[in-house]
Structure 1
Amino acid sequence: MLQSLTVSNFTLVKSLEVEFQPGFTVITGESGAGKSILLQALSMVLGTRARRDQIALGADQCEVIAEFDLSHSSVAVDFLHENQLTDTTEPLRCVVRRTANVAGRSRAWINNKLSTLDALQTLCQALLSVHGQFEHHQLLDTSVQLDWYDDFCTPKVMLEEVGRTFVQWKDTRDKYEREKRTLGLEHHGKELLEYQVDELNNLSLEPNEFEELNRDFKRQSSSQELKATLSESFDRFENQVQPAMAKVLQSLAAIQDEDTLLDETKELLTSASIHVDECVTNLQQYYEKLEIDQEQLQHIEARLNLMHDVARKHKVKTTELYKHIDTMNQKLASIQQNEARLHELDQQVKRYETEFRQTANALSNHRKQHKVDFCEAIIQTLTELSLPEVKFDIGFTDDLNSRGIDAIEYLVSTSKKYPPMPIGKIASGGELSRIALSILLVVARTSNLPSMFLDEADIGIGGTTADVVGRMLRSVAEKNQVICITHAPQVAALGDSHLFVHKDIETDGIQVKRLADQDRIDEIARMVGGKSVSDRSRSYARTLLLEATT
């Protein structure tokens, strides 16, 4: 329930605090007194766009504060708890605050904690609904028609589930399409890549194979020259080096002198002789390896030629061929992994679409089941609003979106001679206003919103019909707080609380006064008779107030 509204430096309001009561509150005042400014201020604190022209002349910023009692709003209580915004000292109290400055910047607070505008709007949607003076024109919008119908019959949790499953399906489908487009570019060359990879893999190239075969080929190709060189080396070792070393060792061995230098020399020569013998042995083994195997040489040459051909075909160096094969395999594997992921996404899209369609079908069936109840309630209300011949129906068509699979259109006939047609083609302005009001009243009876603020919902209605409207609003106010700006004295007389908006003569600012007793009689008399209040208009005002108690 809205408990209070505090406004500072907002258009013509310098400073104003208004307290609201439970039940049915009426707000009256002369045209231009500033009644709608209260609605504008309230709309701003609830999250609508702030405008610079709403800041009072000469002020740097405007401020609006609204205080709510959350005793009958579990949704709001849960929201505050989930977002750690609860007032720990008074958990069933919530204060929302909004400022806007001349620089164009606005800020919002919930229970003195800086908040985002989205959070403020989400919270306030669970606290108060605002219906503007010309909202009946929105009735021509089929999207609004669906909103109002869902307010009447559809649990919020069902709408949220349909919205959630639709977003889940849409986001996954969008991701699938993005990856499909990306993979499409890769897939375009996949067949060529598979052919190239097959060709490369068929080479069965081993790490460092090219380098090793290349060395073997060079060695075997020059084996004759190597063998000649080795033979010459053997001859020199056997006929020159080894005999000479043996002769020197024999001569030194004949010297009988225990000198350390001589002994070391003998040891070095003996060691050198051993090393020379080992060198000869190694060369002999190497020589034996140089036996030419023509068949093997041809195999090596053919293998090398194949490597060169493949490398040339793929435009890489033969020394980089093994790395190229690995890169191409990784590229193909990446495409295959993407295809697998795309397939998985495709399966997710199908699952999420099925889930959405199941919830959307359940919602559609639910809506259609309540069609008769809604139409009968509207027709009954229209009859009470002096439109007894109006026929009202709802047409369903397919329209897949986040709200389900339904589009609806209100169908109206103002004469029993004609079948119902789309409301914009049939109803006049006055009839449209009454139809909008009847729908609002029907929806309000089933609404879980604690508070509703109406700006001249009774426009164009007077006399007995205005009395009926007032009594309907008062009936709604038995479980929901209803605040109504009105020019109809019949409606004003039915209010549980009466607020009078007027301009201060000295400051030209807006003031709000709670009326009772004679002041209320005089105000209703003014509404009846215009500027001149007479004994007759006062008498009629008393009659209206007396009848309001019955």
Structure 2
Amino acid sequence: MILTLNIKNIALIDEAEIDFDDGLNILTGETGAGKSIVIDSMMLLLGGRANKDIIRNGAQKATVEGVFLVDSNTDVIHKILDEAGIEYEDDDTLVISRDITENGRNYCRVNGRIVPLSFLSKLGTYLVDILGQHEHQFLLDSSKHLSILDNFQDKNFFDLKGTLRDLLSEYNILNKRLKEFYSDDKEKMSKIDLLKYQINEIESAKIKKGEEENLLERRNILINSEKLFNSMNECYNLLYKGINDNTSILDNLSTVLKNLDASYKIDKRLEKLKEMIQSALYTLDDCSIQIRDYVENINFDANELNEIEKRLDILGNLKRKYGRTIEEIIRYKEEKNSELTKLLNAEEEIYKINKEKEEIMQKIKAISDEIHKRRKNVADFLEKKISDVLSELNMPNTIFKVDIRKRDMPNENGMDEVEFLISTNIGEPLKPLDKIASGGELSRIMLALKTILADFDGISTLIFDEVDTGISGKAAQAVAQKIALISRNRQVICVTHLPQITSMADSHFKISKEFDKDKTYIKIEKLDYEGKIKELSRIISGSVVTNTTYNHSKELIDLAENYKKKLI
């Protein structure tokens, strides 16, 4: 349930705080006083849409904050918080806030932790259920009736629907594969020819992994053969022959070795150094031989370079068509080989796919039949319950029917089409809601659905936003008593213009406009017993309140209090 709602800089509200109570919380006020702003603010906390236009003129941001007591759906809500890494309080209070800024950005927080807007929607589903005037239109749309019916199902039912969706996905994938085989013969042969051409082009090239790198390396050597010859020949001359009448490195090193050998005979400590120079001499001598052989084998071959360029052109052409690397081209060829094999063996492949489709369809139909049975059971229950509730809401002769028809082909909801039918008078045939239901009747049907659904979804707070459209007289009294009954087991917040509903308030909040110089403000005040009588008198008679109206209002409130005591 919601304990406190704090609103700041939203529309005409400068700053307001409402402390809601258990039972029935009534919001009343003149038309245009701002009751809808309170409900809209609540919807913002539950993930509703918002834009910067709701920010009060002159303010930089709008803020709404709510303190909730998690007294139902506790395990589910705790799991959602755990998955998001949000800690919950020991007293099971939950603080949700949302800021809307001038640049249109939203900042949402749960227990001080920033969360995405979608998280508020997910969490709000288990905290509050809102029934507003727009839901009457929702009820008139027969395409929505199936989802309404499914709201009364348990977790196992939705697990079945999940399995059904997975099977349908597999079935659709097989259908796509099958379509590839059912193109006309001309298109099929063209595809086979194209595949053969592509495979042949790649295979004819006889490409190998690492080939391109080797070719590029060899081309670089051939292009730079003259440079290689000059630099390596100079290396050889420096080591072995000498340059410009200078003694070669090897000759100089031989002289060093001779001197070390003579000195060693005098000082034996030079033995290690002599061995090192001798080793270096042998190594350099071997290097000079290798350099000589390398230089003698340097040969610029124009024909070889030309062949390499041709080969690189072939590889480049293949890369432009089939992949960025040799490895990708090889993978492409393998994929096309597999595709060609399937096309050439189409009949066998079509048989295998059709057999697999048939097996999956049998599973789909079996699950759809189970879903249908469960819907039928819930429909039978719902028909009786709604008829009973509507009878309590002054529609005693109403017959409510859930018409479930089978589709030719299944979809993610199974093979059912659902439509609500109704007969409101004795002797009238059952017809769709949009054919015969009035605004007042739709209000009561929606109220009946919400009343029953509340026992299934476990949501502890219900908001009724002017659901009394088209209701008056005896029907209004029946609706008031039903709302009062609902509020005995859960928190109800109700925006209303009806005196019958208003009189049932456990907590009554009056919303009014006030003017201060050139600004308009919205004032929200919790009424005491005397205030309730005066506000109810205003609702009954308008601006002029007489003694008769006052006494009538007092009587209505006292009668309502006596009625509620009997419900406890």
Normalization by structure 2: what TM-score? Answer: 0.67
Q: CA RMSD in A?
A: 4.0
Q: How far has the Cα of 1:40 moved from its partner?
A: 1.0
Q: 1:511 to 1:173 in 2, by over 3 A?
A: farther
Relative to structure 1, is the Cα distance of residues 439 and 329 closer, same or farther in structure 2, using a 3 angstrom cutoff?
A: closer
Separation in structure 2 between the aligned mates of residue 327 and residue 90 of structure 1, nearest angstrom: 58
Does the 8 Å CA contact 1:25/1:484 hold for their aligned counterparts? yes
Alignment partners' CA distance in 2, 1:348 and 1:63: 56
Aligned to 1:244: none
Pairing partner for 1:375 from 383, 405, 412: 383
Per-residue displacement from partner, 1:228-254 (whole Å, max 9, x unpaired)?
xxxxxxxxxxxxxxxxxxxxxxxxxxx
Residues 447-486 of structure 1: pairs in structure 2 closer than 5 A: 447-486=457-496
1:527 pairs with one of 539, 548, 554:
539
CA distance in 1: counterparts of 2:166 and 2:457, whole angstroms: 28
Matched with 1:246 is none
Q: What corresponds to 1:541 in structure 2?
A: 553
How far has the Cα of 1:435 moved from its partner? 2.8
* Post-superposition offset of 1:415: 2.9
User: How far 1:373 moved relative to its partner?
Assistant: 2.1
For 2:464, the aligned partner's letter is L
1:410 CA displacement: 0.9
Deviation digits for residues 23-59 of structure 1, max 9, x if unmatched? 2211111221111111111112211211232111112
Specify the alignment match of 2:85 in structure 1.
84
Q: Which amino acid aligns with 1:503?
A: K
Mapped partners of 2:124, 2:383: distance in 1: 29
**Amino acid of the residue matched to residue 364 of structure 1?**
H
Give the letter aligned to residue 86 of structure 1. E
Structure 1: distance between partners of 2:29 and 2:513: 9
Residue 521 of structure 1 and its aligned partner are, at CA, apart by: 1.6
**In 2, distance between residues paired with 1:357 and 1:374?**
25
2:167 maps to 1:155: no
For residues 327 and 494 of structure 1, the distance between their equivalents in structure 2, rounded to whole angstroms, comes to: 76
Conservation of the 8 A alpha-carbon contact between 1:165 and 1:352: no
Gap runs ≥5 in structure 2: 209-313, 319-326, 344-348, 564-568
- Aligned residue number for residue 392 of structure 1: 400
> How far apart in 2 are the matches of 1:51 and 1:196?
55
Q: After the TM superposition, which residues 173-188 of structure 1 pair with which residues of structure 2 at under 5 Å, given as runs? A: 173=171
Q: Residues 11 and 193 from structure 1, CA distance in 2 versus in 1: closer, same or farther, beyond 3 angstroms?
A: closer
**Alignment correspondent of 2:14:** 14
Distance 1:20 1:140 in 2: 33
Does the 8 A contact of 2:394 with 2:478 survive in 1? no
2:163 partner letter: T
Q: 1:33 to 1:346 in 2, by over 3 A?
A: farther
Post-superposition shift, 1:127?
0.9
Superposed counterparts of 1:265-276, under 5 Å: none
> In 2, Cα distance between the equivalents of 1:375 and 1:327?
63
Give the Å deviation of 1:134. Answer: 3.5
Contact 2:171 2:357 in 1 (8 A): yes
3-state secondary structure, aligned to 1:504? strand
- Cα distance change, pair 193–539 in 1 and its aligned pair in 2 (3 A): closer
User: Aligned with 1:39: secondary structure?
Assistant: helix
Q: Deviations over 1:256-277 (max 9, x none)?
A: xxxxxxxxxxxxxxxxxxxxxx
What SS class does the counterpart of residue 148 from structure 1 fall into? helix
| Aligned mates of 2:328, 2:69 — CA distance in 1 | 68
Answer yes or no: is 1:509 the counterpart of 2:521: yes
> 1:11, 1:54 within 8 Å by CA — same for their partners in 2?
yes
Q: Which amino acid aligns with 1:158?
A: F
Return the offset for 1:346.
8.5
* Pair 407,474 (structure 1): closer, same or farther in 2 beyond 3 Å: same
Q: Once the 2 structures are TM-superposed, how far is the Cα of residue 157 of structure 1 from its aligned partner?
A: 4.9
Q: Residues 402 and 476 from structure 1, CA distance in 2 versus in 1: closer, same or farther, beyond 3 angstroms?
A: farther
User: Whole-Å Cα distance in 2 between the matches of residues 25 and 111 of structure 1?
Assistant: 25
Looking at structure 2, the residues matched to 447 and 429 of structure 1 have their Cα atoms a distance apart, in angstroms, of: 26
For residue 260 of structure 1, what is the aligned residue in structure 2?
none
AA of the residue aligned to 2:386: I
CA distance in 2, matches of 1:47, 1:488: 29
Does structure 1 conserve the Cα–Cα contact (< 8 Å) formed by 2:464 and 2:493? yes
Q: Taking structure 1 as reference, are residues 176 and 430 closer, same or farther at Cα in structure 2, changes over 3 Å only? A: same
String of CA shifts for 1:195-223, please: whole Å, max 9, x gaps: 9999x99x9x9x9xxxxxxxxxxxxxxxx
Contact 1:23/1:479, CA 8 A, preserved across alignment:
yes
Task: Quote the Cα distance in structure 1 between the aligned partners of 2:5 and 2:406.
Answer: 43
Distance change (3 Å), C-alpha of 1:189 and 1:20: same
- 1:315-361 Cα offsets, whole Å, 9 max, x none, are x99xx9xxxxx999976643465699998998987776665554443
Q: Where do 1:273-284 residues align within 5 Å? A: none
Give, as a single letter, the amino acid of the residue that structure 1 aligns with 2:166.
Answer: Q
| Distance change in 2, residues 1:101/1:179 (3 Å) | farther
Equivalent-residue separation in structure 2 for 1:59 and 1:195 (angstroms):
70
- Report the Cα offset of residue 116 of structure 1: 1.6
Bigger Rg, structure 1 or 2:
1
Q: Residue 484 of structure 1: CA displacement? A: 0.7
Alpha-carbon distance between aligned partners in 1 of 2:30 and 2:79, rounded to the nearest angstrom = 41
Q: Distance in 2 between matches of 1:194 and 1:485?
A: 73
Q: Call closer, same or farther: CA 1:525–1:328 in 2, change over 3 Å.
A: closer
| Structure-2 residue corresponding to 1:405 | 415
Contact 1:437 1:458 in 2 (8 A): no
Count of aligned pairs between the two proteins: 432
**In 2, Cα distance between the equivalents of 1:15 and 1:136?**
32
Matched letter for residue 25 of structure 2: T
2:433 matched residue in structure 1: 423
Distance 1:328 1:439, change over 3 A: closer
1:509 match: secondary structure: strand
Residues 348-401 of structure 1 deviation map (CA, whole Å, 9 limit, x = unaligned): 877766655544432221110122221122222222222223322111123544
- Say which SS state the counterpart of residue 406 (structure 1) adopts: strand
Q: 1:354 to 1:112 in 2, by over 3 A?
A: farther
Structure 1 counterpart of 2:406, one-letter code: D
Separation of aligned partners in 1, 2:359 and 2:39: 46
> In the aligned structure 2, how far is the partner of 1:172 from the partner of 1:463?
56
1:288-367 matches, within 5 Å, as: 333-335=334-336, 357-367=365-375
**What residue is the counterpart of 1:95 in the other structure?**
95
Does the C-alpha gap of structure 1 residues 391 and 332 become closer, same or farther in structure 2, counting only changes over 3 Å? same
SS of the residue corresponding to residue 508 of structure 1 reads strand
| Corresponding position of 2:162 | 164
Q: Distance in 1 between matches of 2:357 and 2:39?
A: 45
Output one character per residue of 1:168-227: Cα deviation in whole Å (capped at 9) or x when no partner: 3454455556667789999964588679999x99x9x9x9xxxxxxxxxxxxxxxxxxxx
**Alignment CA distance shift 1:341-1:47 (3 Å):** farther
SS at match of 2:520: coil
Contact 1:193 1:328 in 2 (8 A): no
Aligned to 2:255: none
For the 8 Å contact 2:6–2:17, the answer to whether it is kept is yes
CA contact (8 A) 1:162 1:356 kept: no
Task: Give 3-state SS (helix, strand or coil) of 1:97's partner.
Answer: strand
Give the residue type in structure 1 aligned to 2:545. V
More moved, 99-108 vs 173-182:
173-182
Q: 1:130–1:454: 8 Å Cα contact kept in structure 2?
A: yes
